[in-house]
Amino acid sequence: MEGAMTETLTISQARNEFLRLPKRLGGKRGVHAVTVTQHGKPVMTILPAEFYETLVETLEILGDREQMASIRRGIRELKAGKRIPLEDLKADLGL
């Protein structure tokens, strides 16, 4: 989440603010994550559900050797100038 604004709350503050956290996350203030600390150490991070789901999907892709091999192959082909015209792709997909 480079560039994303994070906020840090103590566990007591998080408890007191819990019902207001959904508005804080992704609201006008631009907070995208809340790190909760206990005794000065981070113990959890609260994320918007949509961001969490995206993160899990990304980790699943990164952990899938076949998908990663396919992505790397595609990147190599793109760098080599190998492209498929849109009309050919549509025909291959039956669109």
CATH number assigned to the domain comprising residue 11: 3.40.1620
Q: How confident is the model at residue 79 (pLDDT cuts 50, 70, 90)?
A: very high
3-state SS class at 53? helix
pLDDT of residue 28 exceeding 60, the answer is no
**Amino acid in position 80:** A
What is the band of 4 on the pLDDT scale with cuts at 50, 70, 90?
Answer: low
- Give this prediction's pTM: 0.64
Q: How many residues does the chain have?
A: 95
Check residues 69 and 22 and name the one with the higher pLDDT: 69
- Asked if 16 and 43 sit in the same domain, the reply is yes
Banded pLDDT at 1 (limits 50, 70, 90): very low
| Domain hosting residue 15, numbered range | 5-48
34, β-bridge pairs:
7, 46
Query: Which amino acid would we find at residue 64?
Result: D
Tell me, yes or no, whether 14 and 38 share the same domain.
Answer: yes
The one-letter amino acid code at 33 reads A
Q: Are residues 44 and 73 in the same domain?
A: no
> Do 26 and 55 lie in a common domain?
no
